[in-house]
């Protein structure tokens, strides 16, 4: 904790935040592990999709809640994207490994964005270099396959079984024709 910092964060905490933001696209496969998980990770809904951090901005992926007393006695950091269907042991393993990577490599967190990012258009998101989480389990699997650090957090055996199971789930989902599709397209075509 740093009482001189307006957010009450130490350099260590800022590095931790930077690590989590850097690895979030890969971590999300573990933190939101089902096809349905991505139905809530949509811009404009309550769940965050933007790789950013802030104090009062609910559209940010990481939130540092306001501390009501001065001087600060403590502060906390919230990663707001884990889905209730995630395995808490795997979730904590990847979240901690990502944060520790930020500390080890002294990653620099971007400036906090207190604006409502749901109101940003593509130009504003680009101006502030704000990226988004993957929009589907398939995209999340692709990101996980590229991130060796998150793979390492899961260890080889769990990573291989996890990817195998999630790839099967994603492939099955992509081949499944829903009632909505039948109702929508069958009468037209």
* CATH architecture designation of domain 11-185: 2-Layer Sandwich (3.30)
Query: CA triplet 136, 25, 31: central angle to 5 degrees?
Result: 75
> According to the model, what pLDDT value does residue 70 have?
61
Separation of alpha carbons 169 and 165, rounded Å:
6
What torsion, rounded to 10 degrees, do the Cα atoms 15, 132, 60, 42 define?
-150
Looking at residue 132, the DSSP 8-state letter turns out to be: B
pTM above 0.85, yes or no: yes
- Closest to 134 in 3D by CA, of 61, 68, 46, 77: 61
User: 32 near 86, Cβ under 8 Å?
Assistant: yes
pLDDT at 165 over 90: yes
> According to the model, what pLDDT value does residue 42 have?
87
User: 83 near 37, Cβ under 8 Å?
Assistant: yes
Q: pLDDT band at residue 71, thresholds of 50, 70 and 90?
A: low
Domain chopping of the chain, boundaries: 11-185
The answer for 129, left when phi > 0, alpha when psi is -120 to 50, beta otherwise, is left
CB proximity list for 46: less than 8 A, separation 6 or greater:
40, 58
pLDDT at 1 over 60: no
Looking at residue 100, the DSSP 8-state letter turns out to be: H
> According to the model, what pLDDT value does residue 119 have?
85
pLDDT digits 0-9 by tens, 73-113:
677 889 999 999 999 999 999 999 999 999 999 999 999 99
């Amino acid at each position: 904790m740093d009482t001189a910092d307006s957010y009450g964060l130490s350099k260590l905490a800022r590095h931790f935040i930077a690590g989590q933001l850097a690895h979030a696209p890969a971590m999300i496969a573990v933190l939101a592990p089902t096809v349905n998980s991505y139905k809530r990770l949509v811009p404009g809904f309550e769940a965050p999709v933007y790789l950013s951090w802030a104090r009062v901005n609910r559209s940010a992926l990481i939130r540092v809640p306001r501390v009501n007393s001065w001087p600060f006695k403590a502060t906390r950091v919230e990663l707001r994207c884990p889905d209730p269907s995630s395995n808490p042991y795997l979730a904590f393993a990847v979240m901690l490994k990502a944060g520790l990577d930020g500390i080890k490599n002294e990653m620099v967190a971007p400036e906090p964005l207190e604006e409502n990012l749901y109101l940003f258009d593509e130009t504003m998101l680009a101006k502030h270099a704000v990226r988004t989480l993957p929009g589907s389990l398939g995209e999340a699997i692709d990101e996980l396959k590229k991130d060796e650090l998150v793979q390492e957090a899961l260890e080889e055996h769990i990573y291989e079984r996890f990817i195998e199971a999630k790839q099967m789930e994603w492939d099955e989902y992509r081949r499944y024709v829903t009632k909505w599709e039948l109702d929508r397209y069958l009468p037209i075509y």
